Amino acid sequence: MKRNKVYILFIITLSLFYSCKKEKKIDQSFKIEIVDSLYTINNSYAVDDVRRYGVFPSKSIGQHPILLKDKMQVLLNVAESGIKLNFPPGVYKRSLSIEGRNYIEIIFNDVTFTGAVNIKNSKKITLKGSLLSLVQLYIKESEDINLDHIVIKSDTLLSGNKKRSMGCSVHTGSNNIKINKLVVEDLISGSNEKYVKAGLAIHGHNNEPSNVSIDSVIILSSDRHGVYLTGDNILINYLDINTFGIGSAIGMEPMEGGVQGEQGKFAGLWVKNAHNSGIKKAIINIENSKGAYSVNFDIGESFRPFKIDTLLIEGNNLSLKKRILKRTGVNVRTLLNK
């Protein structure tokens, strides 16, 4: 009798499994039908290929001919439906602006956007593959963001705003941000660039970023600060700052909550109120850099410190000092000068 009950339970469980699996397939088919009926322009491309929806590299993007909406926003509608979109290699003459979106996964295959990559007020966004922006990476008021390989590069002939790039800014209200590799090749300065602060700025005031994890950060050149960090639980595995401070502070606004004037004292690495955070290995090359400090270890709290396992300062530059406050909270295990 007991054996029969077990057998019956097994049959019921198996039936439910196949029923759920079948229902999932039906849901997926229904989803594709809906997407096809609303968004598809060229069904010769696969459902996950952006060209199916009228977006091609090196071509004008414009409006969707049926929906009369911007095609890039149409793509994000498709992605929000649960389809993992693929961008083929090439240059897309647009910005990628993900605003007010949830549960999106996109795969980029050596893709360049001539505009910025913006993620604002969004959740559960995953961008896989290699993605290059000729303007900026900007994240604000967003959480559970996963980025693979991001490069920010200047090309004044090709970029959408015809200016040099503005680096990476992880701003107020950002939480649980993960980036595999970030490369900033160049950073603009000038009297009109008042909010451009550093090659990488993780910053805010009263709602600082938290739980930001970056495996590798490379700053090849920055007109202003190399890296500026404030927030909670910021973890960088490897940081390499090659050149910084080679531009102008004219027109530059203070850091949030900062003192007027201190923003112009350029540093390779500036850490201020970055709690329960750290860098495993940081390399700062000061040979061809300018400014005030190689490192600026600003105010912090020793009971929730910022830990640097290894800090290597390369090159000779007598004009750059180390600024380390008594109440810094920054703890360097090994400091090397080369």
Q: What is the pLDDT of residues 307-327, one digit of tens each?
A: 999 999 999 999 999 999 999
Tens of pLDDT, residue by residue over 64-98, are 998 889 999 999 999 999 999 999 999 999 999 99
Distances (CA, A) of 33 to 38, 47, 57, 75: 9, 10, 26, 16
Residue 170 lies in a domain: yes
Instruction: Locate 333 and state its tokens.
Output: 């295990």
The answer to whether the beta carbons of residues 206 and 187 sit under 8 Å apart is no
Domain membership of residue 185 as a residue range = 83-337
Residue 111 lies in a domain: yes
Distances (CA, A) of 124 to 79, 83, 98, 145, 190: 12, 14, 11, 6, 35
Residue 298 lies in a domain: yes
Residue 154 lies in a domain: yes
Residue 27 lies in a domain: no
pLDDT averaged per 10 residues in sequence order, the chain, 338 residues? 44 42 48 75 94 94 91 95 95 97 97 98 98 98 98 95 96 98 97 96 95 98 98 98 97 92 97 98 97 97 97 95 96 92
Residue 219 lies in a domain: yes
Residue 286 lies in a domain: yes
Instruction: Locate 73 and state its tokens.
Output: 């926003």
Query: What pLDDT score was predicted for residue 29?
Result: 59
Query: What pLDDT score was predicted for residue 12?
Result: 41
The number of domains in the chain is 1
Residue 32 lies in a domain: no
Instruction: Give the Cα separation of 21 and 27 in Å (integer).
Output: 10
